[in-house]
Amino acid sequence: MLDLLFDPSFFASVPRFVTPILLAALGGALCERAGVFNIALEGFLLAGAFAAVLGSWFAGSAYAGALAAMIGGILMGLVFAEFNLRRGGDAIVVSIAINLLAAGLTTYLLRAIFNVTGAFNDAGIVGFKAIHLPGIAAIPFLGPLLSGQTILFYVALAMVPLLHMFFARHRLGLRMRATGENPAALQAGGVSPKRVQLWALVGCGALCGLGGAQLSIANVNLFVENMSAGRGWIAVVAVLLTRGRPWPLFAIAVIFGVVDSLSFRVQGLGMPQQFTDMMPYLATPIVLTALSWWRRRSAQ
Amino acid sequence: MKLGDGIFAREVVPWLAVVFWIAVVLFVLVELVSSDFGAAVQGFIQGAFGGRRLAYLMTTLSRAALITGMALSVMLSFRAGLFNIGGEGQLVAGGLVAALVAVLVPGPPLLILALSILAAMAAGAAWALLAGALQLYVGVPLLVGSLLLNYPIRYIASYLVAHPYRDVASGMVQSHLVPQATWLPYFPGTRLDIGILFIVVAAIFAVAYSHTTVHGYQSRMNGLSPDFARTVGLPVNRLALQTLAMSGAIAGLVGAIAVFGIHHRYIDGMLVQPLYAWTGIIAVLLVGMIPWLVPISGFFFAAIQTGAAGMERTAGVPKEIALVVQAVIILLVASRVSGALLSSSDRKAGGGGDA
């Protein structure tokens, strides 16, 4: 049973599930650190997934798809900025509205542009190709994990230390943290906190957009209504849990990726789909429970 | 005169701007599918308020009842400062349990109806309490816990009506029909089931609870100022759990009404796809949680949804336009609706367990 679950193709599938959650969560981390309470990651991700298919189909290139996905995510970020930062709407209310907007708009445009309902599956959608790393592929376990993935996975991996450095060293990263911790101080220093938050939202949109591209033009080559399927919410949980620190975020994204990919495997072994679909959402409270227990114990 | 001008500029102009922007969004979306705007508007009005013997208006009203019910459910929580966005899970738990009890338990119809509704309310309450327990005893913020619990129950319900309790002969993923004698009757001479009466009772109960009982007063106090409530020694944890249980029970009741009044069985996705719970949340937010305005905003959003379905039938405009318009409305009024209850900073983290 166990060797049925943990064969090389299992390890090869983990990154496919890690990447979207990780990218969305890293985007969420930008907002979290900059003091923007953004729980619209689900909507950002969905908009990215749709825009990726749109760009890839029209331009005939996966990179154009990724670019379009980033633009789609950024547009959602700008909507958030307009209504939350500029007009002063409550972040939770704006987030709920953006999640609805993304769900409605993607389904609407699916029918308006491609004239299909439910799913758009066409040979014209160009997906990302897997990149094979010659030396690494031979290593057991690690080989299939690291080699044969799409470029988006490597980008996501690289973003973890980059974002860590960004928060620790970069001027804008430091300003974002200052905005989150003490906006008045930043204001006194002559920097507009809202402008910094706008950049955080733009970055968040771009990263979530890439995460969406992973869903629609790397894992598969199609768009399905609501294909983000709650992954954005899991990313929100990861961000809240880690307070937006990149390395712990990475660990949590990997846990969810493993559970997600495990659930996909046991479905192949004949478990009803409903139970396997449930696994990531059950894993979340369990991980949270374990974490709180561990925290309490170490606090004593 | 000057005063009047000020009020006009402050109160009326922003609302005109909202109407203007919604019209722009609608126009662009309808043009995108190259439909006739006039025909679309006509289809919308017909679909929301018209139909033979006002059939569509009845659909709008019964949908409005469900949305208002969900709005009441979340309002109880919101006013107590509990950001419970798990109404969908509580609704599904209620609908599922109501249908299964009515299908599986034999007995006189009226008794079965009462039993199913009570079981549905208990199921909704239990699902809400689970989220509350996660917050109080494990430290999972309610905002997160209640939301995440929406998903497992959805899949549990889907599994139960897809495998053990499926009406296989129907070929659909759905339970068997509940006994016909338990169906909620229509109002005489209409096609509107009496489920709306249950919502009215629940609304009266909710308002009476909130404004005339000690518990209601204490939970509102807890919502307005958690620190104060704690300092004066209110049992804030017990209050939170009680409020959540009531929210969940109302959501469960709404699920039961959808089963006995509209679908007469549990169909996979029947409570999730129409986004009753989310529409309930935005219906409450739109009117800034003022109880007597909630039915009006519930009706308003129901009309948008049924009207959009009408637009799809007559003008070929995808009905998802309703979602977009609802989102745009909420965005445009977001700065005016947030209210004191949602914006306090300690709720930003979802009011964590140790907060």
pLDDT in the model for residue A5? 63
B123, with CB counted inside 10 A (0-12, 13-18, 19+), is buried
For residues B177-197, average pLDDT: 84
Contacts of B141 in chain A (CB under 8 A): 240
DSSP states along A83-151: IIIIS---HHHHHHHHHHHHHHHHHHHHHHHS--SSEEE-TT-PPPPPBP-TTGGGSTTHHHHHSSB-H
Yes or no, beta carbons of A237 and B33 under 8 Å apart: no
Distance CA B149, CA B87 (A): 10
Domains in chain A (CATH in brackets) are 2-129+146-293 (1.10.3470.10)
For residues B235-240, average pLDDT: 86
- A133 inside 8 A of chain B by CB: no
Give residue-wise pLDDT tens across range B70-119. Answer: 999 999 898 888 889 899 999 999 999 999 999 998 889 899 999 999 99
pLDDT in the model for residue B317? 86
pLDDT in the model for residue B124? 96
pLDDT in the model for residue B249? 95
Of A285, A277, A271, give the one whose Cα is nearest residue A5. A271
The minimum CA-CA distance between B88 and chain A, rounded to whole Å, is: 14
Under a CB-based contact definition with an 8 Å cutoff, are residues A18 and A252 in contact? Answer: no
Nearest to A90 among B33, B320, B343 (CB): B343
pLDDT band of A256, cuts 50, 70, 90: confident
Instruction: Tell me what percent of the residues of chain B surpass a pLDDT of 70.
Output: 91
Contacts of A233 in chain B (CB under 8 A): 147-148
Residue B250 clears pLDDT 50, i.e. is over it: yes
Residue A262 clears pLDDT 90, i.e. is over it: no
Yes or no, beta carbons of A108 and B323 under 8 Å apart: yes
Contacts of B284 in chain A (CB under 8 A): none
Contacts of A39 in chain B (CB under 8 A): 143
pLDDT in the model for residue B102? 92
pLDDT in the model for residue A6? 67
Which comes out higher in pLDDT, residue A275 or B67?
A: B67
pLDDT in the model for residue B340? 41
For chain B, the structural domain boundaries read 26-334
pLDDT in the model for residue A270? 74
- Alpha carbon A196 to chain centroid distance? 21
Q: Which helix (H) or strand (E) holds A224?
A: strand A222-224
Residue B346 clears pLDDT 60, i.e. is over it: no
pLDDT in the model for residue B349? 39
pLDDT band of B344, cuts 50, 70, 90: very low
Nearest to A94 among B29, B331, B348 (CB): B331
Nearest to A96 among B151, B281, B343 (CB): B281
Yes or no, beta carbons of B141 and A240 under 8 Å apart: yes
Across all residues in chain A, what is the average pLDDT? 87
pLDDT in the model for residue B354? 32
Task: For residue A90, give the chain B residue with the closest CA.
Answer: B338
Residue B328 clears pLDDT 60, i.e. is over it: yes
Under a CB-based contact definition with an 8 Å cutoff, are residues A183 and A34 in contact? Answer: no
Chain A interface mutation, best of B148, B173, B276, highest count of A Cβ atoms under 10 Å: B148
The minimum CA-CA distance between B318 and chain A, rounded to whole Å, is: 6
The minimum CA-CA distance between B321 and chain A, rounded to whole Å, is: 6
Contacts of B152 in chain A (CB under 8 A): 278, 281-282
Q: Which pTM was predicted?
A: 0.87
Domain at B26-334: CATH code: 1.10.3470.10
Residue B10 clears pLDDT 80, i.e. is over it: no
Across all residues in chain B, what is the average pLDDT? 84
Instruction: Tell me what percent of the residues of chain B surpass a pLDDT of 90.
Output: 27
Which comes out higher in pLDDT, residue B345 or B231?
A: B231
pLDDT in the model for residue B337? 60
Under a CB-based contact definition with an 8 Å cutoff, are residues B25 and B18 in contact? Answer: no
pLDDT in the model for residue B341? 47
Residue B255 clears pLDDT 80, i.e. is over it: yes
Structure tokens that stand for A89 in this block: 């709407």
pLDDT band of A26, cuts 50, 70, 90: very high
pLDDT in the model for residue B3? 53
Task: For residue A231, give the chain B residue with the closest CA.
Answer: B148
Distance CA B70, CA B86 (A): 11
R_g over Cα of chain A:
19
Residue B347 clears pLDDT 60, i.e. is over it: no
Instruction: Tell me what percent of the residues of chain A surpass a pLDDT of 90.
Output: 45
Contacts of B326 in chain A (CB under 8 A): 100, 104
A108, with CB counted inside 10 A (0-12, 13-18, 19+), is buried
Which comes out higher in pLDDT, residue A81 or B206?
A: A81
> In the A/B pair of chains, how many CB contacts fall below 8 A?
142
Residue B343 clears pLDDT 60, i.e. is over it: no
Nearest to B324 among A39, A94, A104 (CB): A104
Among A166-170, B302-306, B335-339, where is mean pLDDT lowest?
B335-339
For residues B16-38, average pLDDT: 84
Distance CA A254, CA A146 (A): 13
For residues A238-243, average pLDDT: 86
pLDDT band of A34, cuts 50, 70, 90: very high
Q: What is the ipTM of this complex?
A: 0.87
For residues B301-316, average pLDDT: 89
Yes or no, beta carbons of B328 and A278 under 8 Å apart: no
Most confidently predicted of A138-152, A194-208, B131-145: A194-208
